[in-house]
Chains A and B, each alone.
Chain A
Amino acid sequence: MSNVLVIAEHEHGHLRKVNWSVLSFAKKAAAITGGEVIVALLGAGLGDAAKQVAQFDVAKVIVVDDSTLENYLTGEFASAVAGVAENADARIVCTVASLRGKDFMPRVAVKLEAGMISDVMDVMEEDDELLFKRPVWSGKLTEVLQATTDIICATVRHTEFDAMEPTGAGAEIEAGSPDIEGDGAEFVSFDAIISERPELSDANVIIAGGRGMKSREGFAQLEAFADLFGGAVGATRAAVDSGMCPNDWQIGQTGKVVAPDLYFAIAISGAIQHLAGMKGSKTIIAINKDPEAPIFQVADYGLVGDAFKILPELHAAVKAAKG
């Protein structure tokens, strides 16, 4: 039992970029456990997705193509994953720490009698023990843990690992047919938020605003600025709670965790709960009228001033610079 099994996340066969970061985690873990990286894809209509995953340097791609998995339901999905894991000689079963990953992976852990570790940010070996790191206490502390079980289930914080690049390797694709058993829950509907902009977790540039943006119109300025970079728009919990923007824009402890190349924090003071969701960003730029705002302690470049005065000037200057 030494393999690392990655459950790839997709929506109806459309793979998310975050998976490639989980592959990097899996490679690192497999180097310690002495096993191979196996990717499993579970759902319906997955032919193209399987071919895409096979382009990466992994030992095998297991595809469970079953109409009962067409719409995600926790019980069915978890039982199928557990079935695949039992036949994959897996020491570690992992997936991205998305809402879906957090929903099903503990259920897999119960079926496999495995220890479960959430939000893994690193894996290492110390005195022959396999150890994991995860953030706790709003990101103020890192917890180092180990499992007492043979199998370990984990969700992985994709922001902590670089995305693996495809090598065109052409890994073997194998069909899997685990027993699938539900728990009585019925799928009623999925309402996707349609946006022209990239998803926050996948975006290279994020323009985020706080309550200081004051209104929906304020956020519209951020949207226009984001479009100059092909970026996504994010927000603090305070901005979301006061109705300036949709729920799924929220970045932070109770929202999404992001780490883009470039993060603009505009009129964001930098509460610890927000910082926990974005301080892994490569470059952080903060604009805030309060020079004492905590956001300046994590920013690479800070500009003190009124966002409503600075933003139009910045927008025009970036637009001119980009031609």
Chain B
Amino acid sequence: MKILTTVRRVPDLDARFSLNGDKTEIDTEALDHKVNYFDEVAVEEAIRLKEKGVADEIVSVCIGSGNATKELRTALAMGADRAILVEADEKTLDPYLVAAILAKLVEKEQPDLIIMGKLGVDFENTQVPQLLAGMLGWPQATFAYSTEICDSKVTVGREVDGGTSTFRLPLPAIVTADLRLNEPRFPSLPGIMKAKRKPLDTMTIEDLGVALEPRVKTVRFEMPPEREAGVIVADVAELIQKLRDEVKAI
């Protein structure tokens, strides 16, 4: 069984950032980057399935700048077998185009299972896996906290509103990783050494034949309104007085 995982390179969101002159782009050049956490969870899940003897090959894919080879090497060091970088300026892509690029790669790679992070922490669209499933006509199980493969089907425990739900999907299928699916491992030193020799192919969007026609465009970015600073009360008695007279909650 072959598993495809996606790896996104995301900036450190706690760092200070700036916008370009017309506020249409976030300047991320100077920021530290790392693997999107939920994608690390996805890669880890694929590795565990391989360790269980269920999967035999793990391919990690990233769409992004040449710098993202670092994030792909992280996936390889964790245990992925090979990597593919689709070189693109991410700022020109919307979730639909990202899914369209991945759909072309899936045609070439023919994986049995795709495991992706449930969202990218920077834009949090939470769309690409579902869009990809729709384009491929494959079943999906989002927000997974457990996976089990048996008889060419994957049974997925899902975090849903008000509880949990279990779906069983025939393969090929798409699963998205939630926080509690697993605890991703740190790459070991031998893992890091081995990763340097593992294959990492590079291709372009043109190679895959995807036209750059997004369905959604960023018009600009704005600073959200800040909350006005409140007051510090001295003790419980003053807090109670505020709750009664100003908030009218008691």
Interface residues of A (CB under 8 A from B): 9, 11, 72-75, 78, 98-100, 102-107, 109-111, 114-119, 129, 131, 133, 135-149, 183-193, 199, 201, 205, 229, 237, 247-248, 253-254, 261-262, 272, 279, 283-285, 291, 296-304, 310, 313-314, 317-318, 321-322
Contacts and interface: CB of A to CB of B under 8 A. Distances in A.
Contact of B216 (A147, A184, A313, A317): A147
B242 A192 contact: no
Contacts of B141: 185
B249 A75 contact: no
A201 B26 CA distance: 31
A98 B217 contact: no
A253 B217 contact: no
A191 B163 CA distance: 6
B162 interface: yes
Contact of A185 (B94, B122, B140, B227): B140
> Which of A98, A139, A318 has the most CB atoms of chain B within a 10 A radius of its CB?
A318
Given A103-B142, A118-B126, A138 B247 contact: no
Contacts of A186: 167-169
Contacts, number: 229
Given A100-B161, A109-B131, A116-B127, A148 B233 contact: no
B17 A137 contact: yes
B214 A148 contact: yes
Contact of B167 (A73, A142, A205): A73
Given A148-B215, A149-B215, A304-B232, 17 more contacts: A73-B167, A74-B140, A100-B160, A102-B126, A115-B96, A118-B125, A137-B13, A140-B13, A142-B223, A143-B123, A145-B216, A148-B213, A184-B169, A186-B169, A301-B230, A301-B247, A302-B230
Given A116-B215, A116-B216, A136-B124, A191 B96 contact: no
Contact of A317 (B161, B169, B236): B236
Interface of B: 13-14, 17, 26, 94-96, 119, 121-127, 130-131, 133-135, 137-143, 145, 155, 159-170, 173, 179-180, 213-224, 227, 229-233, 235-237, 239-240, 242-244, 247, 249-250
Contacts of A189: 165-166
A286 to B, nearest CB: 8
B126 A146 contact: no
Name B's interface SS. mixed
Contacts of B122: 136-137
Contacts of A72: 165
B233 A302 contact: yes
A195 B250 CA distance: 24
Contact of A141 (B138, B169, B221): B221
Contact of B222 (A109, A141, A184, A185): A141
Contacts of B168: 185-186, 188
Contact of A283 (B14, B162, B215, B249): B249
A312 to B, nearest CB: 10
Contacts of A9: 161
30 contacts: A107-B134, A109-B96, A111-B134, A115-B96, A116-B96, A117-B216, A137-B122, A140-B13, A141-B223, A141-B224, A142-B223, A142-B224, A144-B219, A145-B218, A146-B217, A183-B137, A184-B170, A186-B168, A189-B166, A190-B165, A193-B162, A262-B247, A279-B227, A283-B249, A301-B231, A301-B242, A303-B236, A317-B237, A321-B240, A322-B250
A81 to B, nearest CB: 12
B249 A262 contact: yes
Contacts of B167: 73, 185-188
B250 A318 contact: yes
Nearest to A291: B232
A189 B169 CA distance: 13
Contact of B165 (A75, A109, A141, A191): A191
Nearest to B153: A186
A271 to B, nearest CB: 9
Contacts of A237: 179
A191 B167 CA distance: 12
A24 B233 CA distance: 36
A183 B123 CA distance: 28
A70 B163 CA distance: 17
Nearest to A11: B162
A136 B123 CA distance: 5
Closest 8 A/B residue pairs (Cβ): A110-B134, A106-B130, A115-B215, A188-B166, A185-B139, A300-B230, A192-B163, A183-B139
A301 B224 contact: no
B219 A131 contact: yes
A185 B223 contact: no
Contacts of A107: 130-131, 133-134, 140
Given A115-B215, A321-B240, A248 B232 contact: no
B20 to A, nearest CB: 13
A115 B130 CA distance: 13
Contacts of B236: 303, 310, 313-314, 317
A145 B229 contact: no
